[in-house]
Amino acid sequence: MKQRILGQTGQSVSEIGFGAWAIGGTWGEVSVEDAKEALNAALDAGITFIDTADVYGDGRSEKIIAEVLNARGGKRPFVATKLGRRLSPHVSEGYTAENLNAFVERSLQNLQTDTLDLVQLHCPPTEIYYTPEVFDVMDDMVAAGKIRHYGVSVEKVEEGLKALEFPNVSSIQLIYNIFRQRPAEHLLLEAKRRNVGIIARVPLASGLLTGKMKADTFFSADDHRAFNRNGEAFDKGETFSGVPFEVALDAVEDIRRFVKGDVTMAMLALRWILMNENVTVVIPGAKNRAQSEANAQASQLDALSEDTMLALKGIYQQKIAPWVHQRW
């Protein structure tokens, strides 16, 4: 498993990480046994970066991670969590020192650790990026030893650029994949210049870029791909990267001709992200051992050819960009 440095943290992490949203909830049923097998398989494959959040299954994801890491023993991987989305309503006024500290204390308990490696503001309201007092609170928690580093998880490119103005922001997490290429135009370059790590989430566009979905694919009622296509529960960009399902399926068929040999479309999609040296780690999710093992293999693939990269950019510009490029 190849390694990259996570910005100013100086931490070396695997370029493929483990996204732990799916083992928490809103991706259909995932048993605790399957969740633990998925995480163990990722760790066995050399993955050293885990991304979770306090709202994934209302703490279920964090607790499963703690149980697995405690059972394995040895050196712990780098674990990033998030805070803020427990607020109801989720408004900027709720980002107080009292609330933020309470969220961190809860994650410390869930993850059974004395210090959190990385805490990310979890797609906060845009106003937060114009509220330096919130970042002062994060600095205070670093000074108190509750967290080692902090970053932000953003919905929009503009939010990421604004976050870079705060000198102690160590990482930016954002959606970056074949269907969401805008971050590469400026944000990823600027983050690299400022030595800020980039965590690429939703790398497979909620499963679309596995190439396995069809127009009649069924999603259970507790799966966000059934209930959030228009942003009913949270930002619609988190579901299928904001691309209308039928539009995306058509583009997937164009991408399919670049899938050859033993390489799956999911592996191709992950390798596409890793072609950008300004990305630190990509965090695909996994519901079981097989998915984790397949995700990890993307680190070993040969570089994509220039012709393939140009073709994938063309597909994006022609079929996908009109739906997403200026929205996020």
Q: What does the DSSP assignment read for 160-178?
A: HHHHTTSTTEEEEEEE-BT
Which of 56, 95, 176, 316 is an active site residue? 56
Q: Which residues contact 18 (CB under 8 A, 6 or more apart)?
A: 38, 39, 42, 43, 47, 49, 50, 51, 283, 284, 285, 286, 292, 295
What whole-number distance in Å separates Cα of residue 174 and Cα of residue 80?
14
Phi, psi of 267 (to 5 degrees): -65, -40
Beta-bridge partners for 172: 152, 198
The SS3 assignment for 6 reads coil
What whole-number distance in Å separates Cα of residue 228 and Cα of residue 225?
6
CB atoms within 10 A of CB 264: 17
Is 56 labeled as catalytic in the residue annotation?
A: yes
Structure token digits, residue 21: 């949203």
Structure token digits, residue 35: 């969740």
What whole-number distance in Å separates Cα of residue 188 and Cα of residue 46?
25
* Buried b / exposed e along 159-172 (16+ C-beta atoms within 10 A): bbbbbbebeebbbb
> Which residues does the annotation mark as catalytic?
56
